[in-house]
Structure 1
Amino acid sequence: MTPRAGGTGATRPPLYTRRPVLAGLIRQWPLGVVLLTVGVGLLLVAADFWRRGLITIGLGVAAAGVLRLLLPVRRAGFLAVRSRLVDVVLCLSVGVLLTVFAVVIPAG
């Protein structure tokens, strides 16, 4: 192994060999962001703020589509399920429709 610039002589092994679980979680950050957003939306719905909750869920699903569009397959992680076109179209359309329905439905 080559020494670090200005360092001692030993290099540390990569994160995926030292802590594979942590490396796997870091690699799946796009899915984590989407799940966290949808989870917050579900909590809002459960707290009887259904409109805000559905808007949050819709924006989270739409964010999944945007992340799938912008990130390469290696970085998209588990957001890459089908082809890029199918993933983006499905996530964006479901996210936008859910958000629009939440805004359009009259409060009763």
Structure 2
Amino acid sequence: MSPDEHHGAELAPERVRGVRAVLVQIPYLLVMLGVLAAALFVLFDRWRRGSFVFGAALLIGALLRAFIPSSKAGLLQVRGKFFDVAVMTTVGAVMLWLATSIDSLGTD
């Protein structure tokens, strides 16, 4: 086997690891897209919608963290599974409660 052929054989597993490293981050990216959408709502003076979307994104993150194995949770994994799910669920629920309970005073 020539040196070029040998190098090509080693490259394939590295590519597979690279693709897996990116795919593992998809749940995190979904949650971050929700947070970005919430930030855009708040930026355009739609704070209630923004806080609602932010809370929903956190609840989706909590569901993903609860059902995806820790080895595939990527950046959603901060501490233990129970802690991560409990914190995201609590903050998400509080954000949804705030978004729905506070009077809008003429804004959305």
* TM-score bucket (shorter structure): 0.7 to 0.9
> What CA distance in whole angstroms lies between the structure 2 residues aligned with 1:23 and 1:85?
25
* 1:46 Cα deviation after fit: 0.5
CA distance in 2, matches of 1:95, 1:105: 16
**1:34-45 equivalences in 2 (<5 Å):** 34-45=31-42
Render the CA deviation track for 1:40-92: whole Å, top value 9, x for unaligned.
01001101111111100010011111111000001111111111111111000
Greater share of helix residues, 1 or 2?
A: 2
Does residue 68 in structure 1 map to residue 40 in structure 2? Answer: no
CA distance in 1, matches of 2:16, 2:28: 20
Q: CA deviation at 1:13?
A: 2.1
- Return 5+ residue gaps in structure 2 as ranges: 1-8
Higher relative contact order (CA 8 A, sep 6+): 2
Q: Mind listing any 5+ residue stretches in structure 1 that lack a counterpart?
A: 1-9
The yes-or-no answer on 1:107 pairing with 2:68 is no
**Alpha-carbon distance, 1:21 to partner:** 5.3
1:1-108 correspondence to structure 2 within 5 Å: 13-14=12-13, 17-18=14-15, 22-108=19-105
Structure 1 length normalisation: TM-score? 0.80
Name the Cα RMSD after superposition.
Answer: 2.0
TM-score, normalising length from structure 2?
Answer: 0.80
